[in-house]
Amino acid sequence: MSSHRIRIFSSLLIAFVIVKIYANFTDVKNLLTNFKLPSYNFGKLFTLNFDSQPQIGSENPTPTNRLNPISSDSIQFNLSSPAPTQSGLGNPTPTSRLYPTPSDFIRFNPSPTKFPTKIPTNKPKPTNTPKPTKTPTPPPITSDVRPGTTLSEIFQEVGKRACIPPALLRAIQEKETGAWWSFNSASSKVKIYNTYGWWITGAGNPCTGFGYHTQTGIVPQDSVNAGYSCQNSVGASGDIGIMGLLQVSDEEQTATRKYTLVTLPNNIDRRVIFDNALIFAIATKNRIGTTPKSCTDWPDNVILTAAESHIGWGSCSAQNYCNDVLRLYKQYR
């Protein structure tokens, strides 16, 4: 009888234990199935922004900048919801990313800028200072028809060949014969008296073209109308054969011939306008000596010297000749 009771009691005890174990196992299974970790701000863990530690010995340490604890009463487990929620807070939104994105890496770790490598070039070597090119010498004049159809063209050509200011040639011509020969005379007239031999062919008038000796007014023997007396004679004593628009003497024509051969190798005569101006230019430069390098601009003192050497040394006061030449030179320069 007693053994039968013991078996019944043992069976009940074993059944109770099995039921208890099964119940406990079921509760644990349900708990594990529905349990979700609460959502915390893990960004602070990666930014090294930890809560300050309480000081040892403090009775009521108050931690600063810590995460607010979540009450277990506020956590609701929902089998259909994958994440727990807090009562009255809604779905929490994380404020920072757990892992850096590629854009963050680029922002904080920019690639180094590549600068172009400058290739050195060869240093230029200094060049020699260029020497001024010498103006080529104009070709000689072999035609009986001289260059220029106006007085301006003739004086420009002579000035270029003899390196003398054309304004000085014009000033001398106006002072000597300007009252009878206008600077703006017609080209048809200029062509006649700018051709070698006009006094032989009779193309021009010796009195008009200053083809007579100025001091006596007599036309020379090698010319048409030889022996004729022109009205423009100065009536001075003596005769050195002065003729032409710039009033050049026979002596000046002869003395400068070795210099004028470069320009007029065939023939020359002071009755030709071009020839007359060329003889005057060479003779004047020879009398002055050292002349300025410029062929177009001479200082006042050189112009005065040129005028005095032409009229005769010590004769500048006669009719204010030298000052008049200087005044005209400045006017036409």
Tell whether the model's pLDDT for residue 185 goes beyond 80: yes
Domain annotation covers residue 112: no
User: Which residues fall within 8 angstroms of residue 37, CB to CB, at 6 or more apart?
Assistant: none
CB 280 within 8 A of CB 243: no
Given pLDDT bands bounded at 50, 70 and 90, which one contains residue 53?
very low
Range of the domain at 319: 151-203+245-332
Cα separation of 73 and 85, whole Å?
A: 11
Q: Which residues pair with 150 in a beta bridge?
A: none
| Residue 185, token pair as written in the block | 């005379």
| pLDDT for residue 36 | 57
| pLDDT for residue 56 | 45
Domain annotation covers residue 237: no
Cα separation of 29 and 43, whole Å?
A: 32
CB 288 within 8 A of CB 294: no
What average pLDDT does range 233-248 have in this prediction? Answer: 87
* Residue 90 backbone phi and psi in degrees, to 5: 70, -165
Reported as a single tens digit per residue, the pLDDT across 15-42 is: 777 767 776 666 655 555 655 555 545 4
Cα separation of 207 and 56, whole Å?
A: 140
| Residue 150, token pair as written in the block | 């106006």
First to last CA, the chain: 166
Looking at the structure of the chain, the number of domains it has is 1
Higher pLDDT, 29 or 156: 156
Tell whether the model's pLDDT for residue 54 goes beyond 80: no
Domain annotation covers residue 117: no
| pLDDT for residue 315 | 87
| pLDDT for residue 137 | 85
Reported as a single tens digit per residue, the pLDDT across 280-328 is: 999 999 999 999 999 999 999 999 999 999 999 888 988 899 999 999 9
Tell whether the model's pLDDT for residue 274 goes beyond 60: yes
Domain annotation covers residue 171: yes
Q: Can you list the alpha helix ranges (DSSP code H) found in 150-264?
A: 151-162, 166-177, 187-193, 198-201, 250-255, 257-260
| Residue 146, token pair as written in the block | 């001289």
Of the listed ranges 30-39, 146-155, 226-235, 290-299, the one predicted with least confidence: 30-39
Domain annotation covers residue 60: no
